[in-house]
Amino acid sequence: MVSGLINANPVVYEKKERRQRPASIPDADEYSAEAIDQLEVFDHVRDIKDPEHPYSLEELKVISEDAIEVDDRRSYVSCFRVTFTPTVEHCSMATVIGLCLRVKLMRSLPSRYKVDIRVAPGTHATEAAVNKQLNDKERIAAALENPNLVDMVDECLAPSYA
């Protein structure tokens, strides 16, 4: 049976328990000296909907808290590295998922944070090519000027804004 989906029967996992957070106004963090941690970054992306299935990236184990690393080598620049695992090795949705992660974090984190996104090593057939595109900000900027692509991304991001 040809369903048209890349991965018709994904494995769905349980969601991790959520830590209670005090309500915070997004822009308040812009100038706060308090550093943003892995869990906070994870909270921004865990509920993003997979482009093909009615499940979140967390439920499909595409993204997990451990896959977010803080890179604090430099005092003057704050960086995060986000590693995601596509559900199948030949997933052509990998770039869309990566784009969703990028857009959500761009909109949610203070602009001083740098984000590097990559697929988990060994989990994708064209890993280097996908990583290169996802980290070329000029390509990302051009892609986000494409209304169809933006609509697709926004649909995936909708559940993550709650």
Partner 1 sequence: MDLDDEGSNFELKEIQTLSGHTDRVWSLAWNPATGTDDAQPVIASCSGDKTVRIWERSALTRSWDCKAVLEETHTRTVRSCTWSPSGKLLATASFDATTAIWENVGGDFQCVSTLEGHENEVKSVSWNASESLLATCSRDKTVWIWEVMPGNEFECASVLQGHTQDVKMVKWHPTMDILFSCSYDNTIKVWAEDDTGDWHCIQTIGESSNGHSSTVWAISFNAGGDKMVTCSDDLTLKVWEADIEGMRSGNDQVLWKHLSTLSGYHDRTIFSVHWSREGIIASGAADDAIRFFVESKDSVVDGPSYRLLLKKEKAHDMDVNVVQWSPGQENRVMASASDDGTIKIWELATSSN
Q: Please count the residues of this chain forming the interface with partner 1, following the rule CB under 8 A.
A: 16
Structure tokens at 123: 């989990």
Q: Is 61 in the site for partner 1 (CB under 8 A)?
A: no
DSSP 4: S
How many C-beta atoms surround the C-beta of residue 161 within 10 A?
12
Q: Is 31 in the site for partner 1 (CB under 8 A)?
A: no
Kindly give, in sequence order, each residue whose CB lies less than 8 Å from that of residue 77, ignoring residues fewer than 6 positions away: 112, 114
Tell me whether residue 61 or residue 81 sits nearer to partner 1 (CB atom): 81
Shortest CB 142 distance to partner 1, Å: 5
Residues between 66 and 85 that touch partner 1 (CB under 8 A):
73-74, 76-77
Instruction: Give the residue, chosen from 39, 64, 120, 139, that forms a contact with partner 1 under the rule CB under 8 A.
Output: 139
Q: Are strands 78-84 and 68-71 parallel, antiparallel or unpaired?
A: antiparallel
Q: Is 114 in the site for partner 1 (CB under 8 A)?
A: yes
Structure tokens at 137: 């900000």
